[in-house]
Chain A
């Protein structure tokens, strides 16, 4: 017999209570781990999207908010608020290659899909696109569609199929090779065609630009601002904005997980206080046969700590499984816009596992501290006299 065996036997004497208390801490830890795992994965995904953006600079109208900037990464519909003439002025600056984007939304099989107006030849080179099948745009005004690979796969579309946009039928002329970013989840038309069918006049959404010498990015920005009244963001700034928003969302979600952990902690306190009340006479017996108050303290603290240890392990396992299933659900939800093109995958690693188990044990031990102290300070006579 040793103290650990005694603790294990004490915990299992009321199996129902043990299971429900354990469930409390398991659920709290599982939600914490799932959110941490998905948060890390979303952060990684957004970083990957930004890395695959292709442009060093994003030129947008002055009045755009952060949401509009995020939409550049997600490929969502954007306001057509940048004058087309800006493109020519930016392109005229030496060392800058600029391409226009006019991002609108249409529906395919009743699901929203981005349709982007582009300069076909320039975009092919700018984004290093490869054609998987079919014939790419032959000119800047040809009325055919080119699909990202994700769209073609999702809707089972092939070259030769026809899609209706704003009442006009467009044949699918080509499907691009998978690019691993938002390019895969949009369909493309020449810029002039999108301007015409969406009736937006001489406007575009934003301009993507590459600079010849990245080390002198600030000089290029100054040069752009000299000639046009726009807002210029670097791809790093854009990433930083989105990550900061994502960070805020993660913090909010982790706070919610924190509340469930606090609830679990009170569950442990309640269980331990009830156990002490029920086992008061037993505490007296242990004291009578030579148990020191420190031993009683240790027994009760170990009991609550064991809840945390087991709950932590189960919480990590359940949280991981939940994050596996939650990934595709998030991709389908509004938040999934941030990650268009890829569902967040469960990302769990040794530091998350150890941190979660440590946190769980720490919370449980802290929760057990007061009940254990209450048990330890009972004198043998007080405890023995309890009926």
Chain B
């Protein structure tokens, strides 16, 4: 956990124009070491999810920079950002965001379509990932046939499809009951042990206390940092 995998420098994000301007982030700087488990906490609507979107290259910052493995993604083309997301970053969303017309197996394989894993290996790899999240028996189930916890576990398996270095999770247990929440968290901790860098936006204080690094964001400003350094 010595080297820095994510470096954020003076990150600013402004939505809207003129009178409708909203300052979502006001100069946030963060460094996240490779293999660490980080949590971002803070009140709703204060910039946590925006920060996660900018780290994942889903959106571009108004100012400042995001460096992933020393590459400044804020200057990358749309296609390069897609490649980065396909190969280095896996996303897990609060509302799972699975494709509803596809089975669990197909959802995982869809992510592989955009990565570098040879197509002949897709099925075997997807089966392994389903086994990892304890859903081998649900391979052919569509999202509507799965519980919330199971859908989130499929979503985690999909995030791992291309073996990314970084997993970004936006309130992964925010929409689950406590039993499902524990299941999902156990899987997240297991995955972290395999060496993945995990950044989670959460309101879950128990989870936040188990993190290597804790960032508190309020009004678009990093007001507190705890952990490693």
Contact = CB atoms under 8 A, between A and B. Distances in A.
B119 A290 contact: no
A282 B99 CA distance: 7
Given A1-B109, A1-B122, A290 B99 contact: no
B44 interface: no
Chain A interface SS verdict (over half): helix
Contacts of B98: 285
Contacts of A5: 106
Contacts of A285: 97-99
Contact of B58 (A13, A291, A384): A384
Contact of A381 (B53, B86, B87, B162): B53
B180 interface: no
The majority secondary structure among interface residues of chain B is helix
B59 A379 contact: yes
A3 interface: yes
Contacts of B86: 289-291
Interface string B151-180: 000000011011000000000000000000
A94 B87 CA distance: 93
A291 B109 contact: no
A236 interface: no
B207 to A, nearest CB: 22
Contact of A10 (B82, B101, B113, B119): B101
A154 interface: no
Contacts of B158: 289
B37 interface: no
21 contacts: A1-B109, A1-B110, A6-B102, A6-B113, A10-B101, A285-B97, A286-B99, A288-B58, A289-B85, A289-B111, A289-B158, A289-B159, A289-B161, A290-B85, A290-B115, A292-B78, A292-B114, A294-B79, A379-B58, A379-B59, A381-B53
Given A288-B56, A290-B115, 15 more contacts: A1-B106, A1-B112, A5-B106, A6-B110, A9-B102, A285-B97, A286-B99, A286-B110, A287-B82, A291-B82, A291-B86, A291-B114, A293-B78, A379-B59, A381-B58
